């Protein structure tokens, strides 16, 4: 976004705790000024990676560069990062304003000056009236904002957030996602958010880093991750997917249960003749009462759930159950055709 913000480059980063591997050969380039989400199931190494970037953990191997500055051995207090911890880690013995101004106090900024700056930051996170309150007097959502204001107080080179929204209830969380995104646009600081919630990552990030099994599985913009997962782990973790066994019959086509269907373009397809798994999103499948012109699989409706914004229909096809999301209109026991999308299937190594 802003040209003066340097990229964060991670090269061959590894971290072990005793015999346990927490991070295994991570290579990443995060563009300066962007909002990046590290997403993955718990224990995948995403928080460790964030803590290594913050300087709270020392990597076992590899390098960390911010522009041409090597951060690998720089201790946390000289690294110029702002961090929001999962517990928020606000100081209970200080007031809200003193919390926000803590970093300025450490730098020796005069009291009046730093409290004025704290007030500015509190206004930035839309909490203009809580400066003199104690942390214990604030709600969870307010603490969240105070933690963000505090992390931004020193105008850091990197803004790091560890599961920042996980303690909030669903409604508040959605509001905060939007607000966090706006805040990040305004300050323009390179931001990394760790989350286990893939929807949250999709909703906020410029760039999503999907992690699994202590390594990076895929990096890309949210839509690319969603539409073009590179492996079964990503296809399964991000959003919902139907998986079907298939065989590659051409450079752009597979055969699924005797039906020939085209696969997504601009994705590498395994060589002709190999067995693969194809992934199809529930909303990419269509239900038809009559056999359509395109490729389709015949099956029986086994369950219908009306979810409000869409109807989820489960269809038994051979030995498998496919989930289709759409307008519905079918009842349990109906014989239907599940139409496969044109160039929408993703072929993954089986």
HSE-up of residue 292 (Cα within 13 Å, Cβ side): 18
Identify whether the C-beta of residue 200 lies closer than 8 Å to the C-beta of residue 173: yes
Q: What is the contact surface with other proteins in residues (CB under 8 A)? A: 54-56, 75-79, 81-83, 85-87, 89-93, 102-103, 105-107, 150-151, 153-154, 160
With respect to other proteins, which residue has the nearer C-beta, 13 or 104? 104
Q: How far apart, in whole angstroms, are the C-alpha atoms of residue 66 and residue 70?
A: 6
Judged by beta carbon, residue 195 or residue 218, the one nearer other proteins is: 195
Could you give the CA distance from residue 195 to residue 342 in angstroms, rounded to a whole number?
33
Count CB neighbours of 230 within 10 A. Answer: 19
Closest CA to 5 of 187, 151, 134: 187
The least distance separating other proteins from the CB of residue 83, rounded to whole angstroms, comes to 4
Nearer CB in complex with other proteins: 127/151: 151
User: Across the strands, what pairs with 64?
Assistant: 10
Pick between residue 83 and residue 285 the one whose CB is nearest to other proteins.
83
CB of 149 to other proteins, least distance (A): 12
Between 21 and 267, name the residue whose CB sits nearer to other proteins: 21
Determine the Cα–Cα distance for residues 147 and 90; give it in Å rounded to an integer: 7
Q: How far apart are the first and last CA of the chain?
A: 38
The number of angstroms, rounded, from the C-alpha of 311 to the middle of its chain's C-alpha atoms is 26
Inter-residue contact 40 to 214 (CB < 8 Å): no
Give the nearest distance from C-beta 174 to other proteins in angstroms.
26
Minimum CB separation of residue 93 from other proteins in Å reads 5
Q: Give me the least distance between CB of 245 and other proteins, in Å please.
A: 45
Closest distance between other proteins and the C-beta of residue 15, in Å?
16
Cβ proximity to other proteins, 118 vs 261, nearer residue: 118
Going by C-alpha positions, the residue among 115, 78, 79, 110 that lies closest to residue 96 is 115
The answer to whether the beta carbons of residues 298 and 337 sit under 8 Å apart is yes
CB of residue 167 to other proteins, shortest distance in Å: 13
Q: C-alpha angle 248/252/258, rounded to 5°?
A: 45
CB 279 within 8 Å of CB 235: yes
Q: Is the CB of 99 or the CB of 313 nearer to other proteins?
A: 99
């Amino acid at each position: 976004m802003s040209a003066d913000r340097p990229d964060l480059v991670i090269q061959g980063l590894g971290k072990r705790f005793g015999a346990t591997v927490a991070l295994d050969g991570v290579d990443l380039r995060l563009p300066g000024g962007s909002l990046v989400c590290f997403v993955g199931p718990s224990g995948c190494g995403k928080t460790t990676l964030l803590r290594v970037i913050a300087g709270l953990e020392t990597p076992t191997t590899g390098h960390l560069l911010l522009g041409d500055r090597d951060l690998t051995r720089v201790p946390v207090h000289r690294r110029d990062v702002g961090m929001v911890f999962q517990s928020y880690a606000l100081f209970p013995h200080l007031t809200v304003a003193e919390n926000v101004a803590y970093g300025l106090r450490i730098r020796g900024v005069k009291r009046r000056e730093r409290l004025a700056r704290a007030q500015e930051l509190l206004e930035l996170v839309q909490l203009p009236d809580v400066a003199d309150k104690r942390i214990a007097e604030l709600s969870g959502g307010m603490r969240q904002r105070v933690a963000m204001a505090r992390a931004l107080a020193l105008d850091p080179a990197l803004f790091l957030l560890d599961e920042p929204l996980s303690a909030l209830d669903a409604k508040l969380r959605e509001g905060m996602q939007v607000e966090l995104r706006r805040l990040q646009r305004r300050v323009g600081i390179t931001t990394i958010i760790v989350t286990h919630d893939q929807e949250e990552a999709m909703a906020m990030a410029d760039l999503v880093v999907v992690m699994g099994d202590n390594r990076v599985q895929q990096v890309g913009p949210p839509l690319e991750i969603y539409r073009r997962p590179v492996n079964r782990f990503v296809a399964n973790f991000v959003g919902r997917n139907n998986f079907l066994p298939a065989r590659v019959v051409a450079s752009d086509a597979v055969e699924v249960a005797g039906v020939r269907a085209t696969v997504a373009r601009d994705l590498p397809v395994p060589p002709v003749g190999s067995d693969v798994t194809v992934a199809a999103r529930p909303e990419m499948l269509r239900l038809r009462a009559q056999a359509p012109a395109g490729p389709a699989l015949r099956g029986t409706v086994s369950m219908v759930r009306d979810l409000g914004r869409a109807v989820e229909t489960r269809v038994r096809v051979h030995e498998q159950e496919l989930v289709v999301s759409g307008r519905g209109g079918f009842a349990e026991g109906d014989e239907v055709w599940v139409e496969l999308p044109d160039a929408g299937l993703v072929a993954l190594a089986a």
